[in-house]
Chains A and B, each alone.
Chain A
Amino acid sequence: MKIRPLVQSLVLLLNNAYLKGFMSGRIYKGPLKGVCVPGLNCYSCPGALFSCPLGSLQAILAGWEYSFSFYVTGLLLGFGAIFGRFICGFLCPFGLIQELLHKIPLFKNKRIIKIPKFFLYIKYVILAVFVVALPVFAKGEFGVGYPAFCKFLCPAGTIEAGLPLLAGSEGLRKAAAGLFLWKALLSAAVVVGCIAVYRLFCRVLCPLGAFYSLFNKISLLRIDPDETRGALCKMGLNPRREVNSLECIRCGDCKRYAKRRPAGLGSSAEVMANTSAHIIHSA
């Protein structure tokens, strides 16, 4: 039995265990909301018990009270130093949603796609501009800004919070206008993209993954390249060379290939054939 889907499912359920919220269309207001989880999970999701670290960081940076969030930054630094992008692979609810979307058989011949490096850097720009710079500097006359990533880009907010809340509230539906349409279209594009390409949002757009990636080479939890095998993993990485690179989410698939077929037994191509995958080298 694979451990990762089990852990991911438990994390998704634990993060969104306030089931009453889905029935009532109201969000949890208890003390757990003061704690940020490591993964991307909108705190306005009716089931959310905890807070989203990105939303919390932006909310504090955009507020008038503090110019820097020691609390959320400390949590993010701690998560990063221990786990790196293991969080993306195991502990991120939106990561699981993307993986489930990729299982939808909408496109034939799904391939492992090696995304060109230029696109992989977009998430760092989003982190710098939308999560940090705009909330800090784009403030109104009362010294209050806005969480730019949540407001303009975050598909987790639209999918996990916007859709269920709007479905249960006529007032919110009436208030939805151009901005909601933009976010809905963007979220639809992310959904289609994730059906076609494994974890497209994670790889190209996610600022939380971008932050954790900075710790991938030094975090306490790493994968030994000598224990890996395979030509290309689902993230489009060569396990031997890139197992602790910025893009590795530590899903551990390369370690499972290695256990199944130790070095010296069979070629990488055979390993990939076992996964029924095709490879595109586009970079």
Chain B
Amino acid sequence: MTHGKYLRYLPFAILAVAGLFIAIGVARGEVASVMEKAVNICLECIGIG
């Protein structure tokens, strides 16, 4: 198999890793952390904090 053919499968491998990462992140409660930050006004974002 040539180098180019390996590259064809690379995005699928990355997608698999991405799915695994998302599952781990959800399982350990990161969505709640994202929510916690996002539902309050981000003072750094608006240039105050």
- A161, B46: Cβ atoms closer than 8 Å: yes
- Please count how many residues in chain A sit with their CB below 8 Å of the partner chain's CB atoms: 56
Q: Cβ of A78 and Cβ of B42 under 8 Å apart?
A: no
Out of B34, B37, B41, B48, which one reaches A71, CB within 8 Å?
A: B34
Q: Contact: B39 with A33, CB < 8 Å? A: yes
Asked if residues A182 and B47 are in contact (CB atoms below 8 Å), the reply is yes
Interface of chain A, helix or strand or loop or mixed?
A: helix
Closest residue of chain A to B33 (Cβ to Cβ) is A60
Q: How many residues of B contact A (CB 8 A)?
A: 35
Least CB distance from B47 to A in Å reads: 4
Contacts of B39 in A (CB 8 A): 27-29, 33
Given contacts A161-B46, A162-B47, contact A72 B30 (CB under 8 A): yes
Is A184's CB under 8 angstroms from B24's CB? no
Residues of B within 8 A of A (CB): 7, 10-12, 14-15, 17-26, 28, 30-35, 37-42, 44-49
**Which chain A residues have a beta carbon within 8 Å of chain B's beta carbons?**
27-29, 31, 33-34, 36, 42-44, 51-52, 55-56, 59-60, 63, 65-66, 69-75, 77-78, 80-82, 146-147, 150-151, 154, 157-158, 161-162, 165-166, 172, 175-177, 179-180, 182-184, 215, 217-220
